[in-house]
Structure 1
């Protein structure tokens, strides 16, 4: 009788691991190179520029934090920065509310729908794929008080008193920017929440239903906790997008954030300072704005990521 000796299966050798790492670096290197050239280098350049005085494009002496002090002590920056920052926060809050209510509702409805699901997903997502500048100019035409279809429709249905110059009234202009921004972005959370809903096993909901759980109880105790990772991703990307908002506010209110600064945001303030202020120290001051904006976005995004991961660990 022949006895067969089973040899233990060998794991990957050191040479194999080294080759795998080298192969991985080959694929990562192009992306890393692009990141360094187009993101890291401009960031460090702006940071260095913010510590110098400038005369046009000629760099002057090292001024430490004078450019940052200027932003909070001298006009117009002393008034424009809080106003623009508040509008950025409004954009973030409005987009979050819109996406986590309308977006999640649409994703849930499409998740249950079998026929024409792809068609509706495409239609809802299409504005997100179009340039924000194009979206902004289209909405500015639609809201025109002279020939815009929005006011014409209100008058046609007997609501002529509600028709108004939406972008000419300071009390409504910023809310138009919030709405248009949230409207364009809603396709992204619909896709993300749809994918997250598709990853929840149906057996869990069926078991809870058999135990007598209502639809709301199943959503609150099963579906919503499993959507926390998707909610975290949407929150971080929405915050970054809202704080960097430029094309839609520019298309709707111009570089000055008209009317009377009602649609001004930090990116517009940076643009005006760098290219329209006529200041001899425009490079230094605008670089200080860009640096502060980056540090705030980076810090808050890291905090949101940490908070959501902590919530995930408590749930799972």
Structure 2
């Protein structure tokens, strides 16, 4: 009897103590995140379903969305802002990220001199305030007191100078390239870190097979850093469709000229807070913010559940 009792005691599962201290440490961060992010998001979604009727808030369902997409004035402004936002994103994907990958590949060359200086110089604009960046580039590109005409004259290209920020055809491209200049350091550093994470054994095996230089990058390194490129792409998507600050600094709340640089962020700002003679409309502003949230949610979901699952990952 005593043997059976002792055997049951030895086979009894060991209960691990509950780690309540983890919840205690996470609670402040959770409360701050909820107050700053979760609750405003829920309130924005709720506000998009209400409108002011006879001075009182009234539930209107999807009526605000019908106005946004159906009313001629609202729809024209919204689709113009969405089109500009898509162009803004495409320019970053086709210019910023490839340049970031190329810079990271060059900086990862083992025998490159002053690599640390180059990394710092390229990443430095990322640390600057968007107000400073916007003001500096407005001074540089100004046709009156800017230095661009003088610098282009030194290399014989003054005839190509144009007031790019003041022309509807080129203003959005100019603002996009300013943003590319400021944030190209982020993809560069992320890709550079991914390249450094590739084991030396893989590189040595490629060199033994005669694969060197740019051929080694395209055939060996690039497939190994595709997950990092995917992360950069989705970060670019989220950041561009949340963009507001640089466009507001360079072109103002009206996103001129003739709304050629108007994106969803500036449209949201004018709608919600009002600007000049335009009165603010909280319900329509929340409706635009909700559409922005749904666009970003759809893009992130597409990446997480479709693209990322098909992306091959390598374990070292």
Deviation string, structure 1 residues 148-189 (Cα, Å, up to 9, x no partner): 111221234332221211111111101001101111111101
Q: Give the 5 Å matches for 1:216-295.
A: 216-276=214-274, 282-295=281-294
Cα distance in 1, alignment partners of residues 209 and 155 from structure 2: 49
Q: 1:193, 1:227 within 8 Å by CA — same for their partners in 2?
A: yes
Does the alignment pair 1:213 with 2:193? Answer: no
In structure 1, the residue matched to 2:15 is 14
Cα distance in 2, alignment partners of residues 285 and 238 from structure 1: 26
Partner SS state of residue 170, structure 2: helix
Aligned pair in 2 of structure 1 residues 181, 202: CA closer, same or farther (>3 Å)? same
TM-score, length of structure 1 as denominator length: 0.88
In structure 1, the residue matched to 2:67 is 70
In structure 2, the residue matched to 1:3 is none
In structure 1, the residue matched to 2:163 is 165
Q: 2:101, 2:187 within 8 Å by CA — same for their partners in 1?
A: yes
| Bigger mean CA offset, 218-227 vs 245-254 | 218-227
Partner SS state of residue 15, structure 1: coil
In structure 2, the residue matched to 1:106 is 103
CA RMSD of aligned residues (A): 2.3
Cα distance, 1:13 vs structure 2: 5.2
Does the alignment pair 1:303 with 2:302? Answer: yes
Equivalent residue pairs, number: 302
Deviation string, structure 1 residues 255-301 (Cα, Å, up to 9, x no partner): 11100111100010011111226667701111000011011101111
Unmatched 5+ residue regions in structure 2?
1-12
Aligned pair in 2 of structure 1 residues 205, 124: CA closer, same or farther (>3 Å)? same
Cα distance in 2, alignment partners of residues 51 and 100 from structure 1: 38
Cα distance in 2, alignment partners of residues 143 and 128 from structure 1: 20
Q: 2:238, 2:296 within 8 Å by CA — same for their partners in 1?
A: yes
Unmatched 5+ residue regions in structure 1?
1-11
Does the alignment pair 1:144 with 2:142? Answer: yes
Cα distance, 1:109 vs structure 2: 1.4
Q: Which of 71, 77, 94 in structure 1 is aligned with 2:91?
A: 94
Q: 1:91, 1:181 within 8 Å by CA — same for their partners in 2?
A: no
Aligned pair in 2 of structure 1 residues 141, 262: CA closer, same or farther (>3 Å)? same
Q: Which of 157, 182, 185 in structure 1 is aligned with 2:183?
A: 185
Cα distance in 2, alignment partners of residues 265 and 176 from structure 1: 14
Cα distance in 2, alignment partners of residues 81 and 34 from structure 1: 33
